[in-house]
Structure 1
Amino acid sequence: MANQAFIVEGNTILNGEIEPQGAKNEALQVLCAVMLTDQKVEIKNVPEILDVEKLISLLRGLGVKIERLSKGHYSFQADDIDLDYLSSDEYQNDAKKIRGSVMLIGPLLARFGKAYLPQPGGDKIGRRRLDTHFIGFQKLGGEFKFDEETNDFYIHADRLKGCYMLMDEISVTGTANVLMGAVLAEGVTTIYNAACEPYVQQLCKMLVGMGAKISGIGSNLLKITGVESLGGTNHRVLPDMIEIGSFIGMAAMTKSDLRIKNAAVKELGNIPSVFQKLGIKLEIENDDIHIPAQELYEISSFIDGSILTIYDSPWPGFTPDLLSIILVVATQARGSVLIHQKMFESRLFFVDKLIDMGAKIILCDPHRATVIGLERKTQLRGISMSSPDIRAGVSLLIAALSANGSSTIHNIQQIDRGYQNIDGRLNALGANIERVDL
């Protein structure tokens, strides 16, 4: 793929309706789950983004029969799997490029007794360890080896055996991976301190549709009674809550009137209320979110008058994926806010680009930034910048749309990894974003 950039014209006001894509984080889990059965599985509302396309390519290389029935609607059948492909150079190279590939381990181990994976890639947002995954598989009876020279993981087990485990951290992908191993394990598995994000709930519902026995869905205590085999099912991916949050922030920052269609509002947790703490008006109408044009929004203070702090925490806390959006939106608010990024130590490093654009931000340390809102008295200015990760990339795009003048955003393949045709969809609402080859 050619190295591409966005040229973004500022002073943009958007208007109209936009529908969120399917949830990236859910899609990566449920696509891996198709490996648990030899029966046909149909999945709808699959986001057609780079990370999903890479995972589909890995599945196809493993021998999964894949048919694209319509946009976002696919059928999968894993009835003739080529396990030798796991040791091929092609698989090794492709699996390194996407972090979601780690979730193939659970299904491969549960159904075929072995898995082999290189250290996966993904966003450069800080250390994201895989210990939780492998400790879980070891408790289920898997034997684990790590080759320090090649950074490859090997794990095998004749048959996984159910057990009680207290997960050492609340990991969404770790919970999903161990869960997929446990559904075909012998006996009962109890996972305590499990992640309970909507993505994990959706995976559980899909697995139950395939014949798995899971109780405690939506809680941090999952009980899985292993079954001999799973069948096919139909599943629909939820709308992407991160994209919904991105659009809310974009509407506020650009003084736009925007309607987000079919937003699955009941699944958004505290996302709407956190944006409302920034003073952003939201009107929930059936399953739509209407953000009216707003000249100025004011950040709330705590009851005692102290500065508002917004921090990330495991569900049902606020998702870390939206903290960078909150941060950029706060730059034009009235008032101040402390952003505390607890879960990843490199996600705030994009703020230097916002400071170059004229934002008032104090980077306290790798985890905390204080934003002093400009109250729209001073407009951000367009600059040339680069996208370090998916969410920071969209935050910079929001800043560029609201800025005075033109901005260039490099490394936009990071944005494409998580947002489907973002330039085309925003241009349809009145943006002026040009994709150029470099």
Structure 2
Amino acid sequence: MAAFEVRGGKALRGEITPQGAKNEALQILCAVLLTPEPVTISNIPDIRDVNKLIELLRDLGVKVGKLATDTYVFQAEDVNLDYMDSPAFVAQAGALRGSVMILGPMLGRYGRCQLPKPGGDKIGRRPMDTHFLGLEKLGGKLTLEGTDFYRIKAEGKLQGTHMLLDEASVTGTANILMAAVLAEGTTTIYNAACEPYLQQLCRMLVRMGANIQGIGSNLLTIEGVESLGGTEHRMLPDMIEIGSFIGLAAMTGSEITIKDCQIPQLGLIPDTFRKLGIQLEFRGDDIHIPAQPHYEIATYLDGSILTVSDHTWPGFTPDLLSIVLVVACQAKGTVLIHQKMFESRLFFVDKLIDMGAQIILCDPHRATVIGLDQRTRLRGITMTSPDIRAGVALLIAALSAEGKSTIENVEQIDRGYQNIDQRLTALGADIRRL
């Protein structure tokens, strides 16, 4: 198990370019299963979760060619359906949350798929009901073996239908969408997710020959087609990395420019960090964060304490609440962090409290942060990364802290952040991988 040894207290300086979007990659890569023709994808992040998904596709029989560091060509001309019955597939798919995204394409094109309960972050319950309820409405029949193995099969062609999703699940919407594009007739998906990454998937499918209306809204209308062709696709920059770098700059008093951010796709992220008192300058498509000795949390107009909470798009993404929480530790003022979607995501705050942060964990979903306003520095400790986002939040805390910190289990961070130690070292951070 790898670890980071971090010596904090250094101001960073320079430019950094965000990787391709992890959450988009997991959808886009699985969409190659919908066509026998070549699909070229660029700006793919070199991270553990994405690389494992590419390995899974290759072992399923997808031809994979690497054209450049971040560019691959995929051709699912001869998919080996029998591989899904192998112990190797069960081990691979069970270790990777992104494996859930093969359900829709495989059911749509081949009429069947099976999957062990996917792995991923231990951040609370992540039920898959929305996926399967939607796929069943299209004509799939689900069989559950035990509590952790799913089989879904269609007798004949999938049939378009109207459905109202019980939640605006991004991965659920994507799975249903990828099955519906090859179904007979019209499918309408109401309460669909509409995140930028889901919009990217829709546009890619349209270029492949799909007929999708309502892109960017919560009502998608899909006219099924007989087959899809190949295409080229470039992924968006990772908005979670962009938010992480904004928080890092503020917490460490650093001057950082984040390049090529696709700012119109960031939604509420810039304004949410501005509410924490962080200055942001848009320079074309770059975000410049000047060095700030202090930043002050805003209050509501009546003077009451600010609440930052997550919500489905266009609300604030839950993946950045861990970053907002750690950045608030050195702000002036108080903020309530309300993590609505996952009940275990705030449990890393005990490490921040051990470092000297003033945080009250109200319940599994809410934490109140009383900022130190840089009056005292956090202190370095030894800690363990529990999940991807909390791991980076702890890394930001360690980079701002006095003394040496050791962060264990950094494989969790590697799942979502590409060469993060090397990239931050280039800005002046003191990080050593053990």
TM-score scaled by length of structure 2: 0.99
Give matches, 1:123-142, under 5 Å. 123-142=121-140
Tell me which residue corresponds to 1:54.
52
Instruction: Identify the residue that residue 183 of structure 2 maps to in structure 1.
Output: 185
Whether 2:23 is the aligned partner of 1:32: answer: no
Q: Distance in 2 between matches of 1:186 and 1:12?
A: 59
Which deviations, in whole Å up to 9, do the C-alpha atoms of 1:65-96 show, x marking residues without a partner? 00110011000000011000011111100101
- The alignment partner of 1:108 has SS state of helix
Shift of 1:406: 0.4
Question: 1:148 Cα shift?
Answer: 1.2
1:152-167 equivalent positions in 2, closer than 5 A: 152-157=149-154, 158-167=156-165
Give the whole-Å Cα distance in 2 for the aligned partners of 1:160 and 1:416: 38
Measure the CA separation in 1 of the matches of 2:99 and 2:168. Answer: 19
| CA–CA distance in structure 2, aligned partners of residues 260 and 99 of structure 1 | 29
1:301 equivalent among 299, 304, 310: 299
Using the TM superposition, give the Cα deviation of residue 97 of structure 1 relative to its aligned residue in structure 2, in angstroms: 0.9
- Give the residue type in structure 2 aligned to 1:231: G
Distance across 2 between alignment mates of 1:174 and 1:429: 38
Secondary structure at 1:408 match in 2: strand
For 1:347-366, list aligned pairs within 5 A. 347-366=345-364
Match of residue 79, structure 1, among 77, 80, 100? 77
Residue 373 of structure 1: CA displacement? 0.3
SS at match of 1:102: helix
Distance (whole Å) between structure 2 residues aligned to residue 433 and residue 161 of structure 1: 54
Q: Give the match for residue 111 of structure 1.
A: 109
Gap runs ≥5 in structure 2:
none
Query: Identity over the aligned pairs, expressed in percent?
Result: 68
**TM-aligned CA deviation for residue 409 of structure 1:** 0.2
Among candidates 333, 340, 343, match of residue 342 of structure 1: 340
Tell me the residue number matched to 1:20: 18
> 1:238 & 1:15 partners in 2: Cα distance?
24
Structure 1 distance, partners of 2:98, 2:35, is 19
Match of 1:96 in 2: 94
Give secondary structure in 2 for the equivalent of 1:349.
coil
Residue 377 of structure 1 corresponds to 375
The amino acid that maps onto 2:12 is L
Question: How far 1:184 sits from its partner (Å)?
Answer: 0.2
Structure 2 counterpart of 1:232: 230
1:316 aligns with 2:318: no
What is the CA deviation profile of residues 137-192 of structure 1, one whole-angstrom value per residue up to 9, with x for unaligned ones? 1100100011116x110000121100000001110000000000000000000000
Q: Which residue of 2 aligns with 1:257?
A: 255
In 1, the alpha carbon distance for the partners of 2:365 and 2:10 equals 31
> Per-residue displacement from partner, 1:18-45 (whole Å, max 9, x unpaired)?
0000000000000000000000000000
1:10: which partner in 2? 8
- In 1, the alpha carbon distance for the partners of 2:19 and 2:208 equals 24
Runs of 4+ in 1 over 4 A off after TM superposition: none
Structure 1: how far apart are the matches of 2:113 and 2:276?
Answer: 46
CA shift for structure 1 position 116: 0.5
Structure 2 SS opposite 1:195: coil
Listed one character per residue, the Cα deviations across residues 297-344 of structure 1 (whole Å, up to 9, x for unaligned) are 000000000000000000000000000000000000000000000000
Structure 1 equivalent of residue 387 of structure 2: 389
Q: Pick from 166, 169, 172: which aligns with 2:167? A: 169
AA matched with 1:65: K
Distance 2:97 2:10 in 1: 34
Q: What is the rounded CA distance, in whole Å, between the counterparts of 1:12 and 1:92 in structure 2?
A: 45
The residue aligned with 1:404 is 402
| Counterparts of 1:365 and 1:104, CA distance in 2 | 35
Residue 358 of structure 1 deviates from its aligned partner by 0.1
1:326 aligned to 2:324?
Answer: yes
Q: CA deviation at 1:12?
A: 1.7
User: TM-score w.r.t. structure 1 length?
Assistant: 0.99
Deviation at 1:287, TM superposition (A): 0.1
**How far apart are the structure 2 equivalents of 1:209 and 1:62?**
24
CA deviation vs aligned residue, 1:268-319 (integer Å, no higher than 9, x gap): 0010000000000000010000000000000000000000000000000000
Give the aligned partner of residue 208 of structure 1. 206
| Counterpart Cα distance in 2 of 1:337 and 1:317 | 18
Question: Structure 2: which amino acid aligns with 1:155?
Answer: I
Instruction: State how far apart, in whole Å, the 2-side matches of 1:433 and 1:177 are.
Output: 39
1:428 is the counterpart of 2:426: yes
Over the aligned positions, Cα root-mean-square deviation in angstroms equals: 0.5
Match for residue 415 of structure 1 among 413, 416, 426: 413
Separation in structure 1 between the aligned mates of residue 209 and residue 279 of structure 2, nearest angstrom: 43
CA apart distance, 1:257: 0.2
- Secondary structure of 1:117's partner? strand
- Per-residue CA distance 1:109-146 (angstroms, 9 max, x = gap): 00001001000000000000000000001100100011
Unaligned runs of 5+ in 1: none
- Letter paired with 1:360: Q
In 2: Cα distance, 1:154 partner to 1:119 partner: 11
Q: Distance in 2 between matches of 1:371 and 1:159?
A: 53
Aligned-pair CA distance for 1:228: 0.1
Name the count of aligned residue pairs. 433
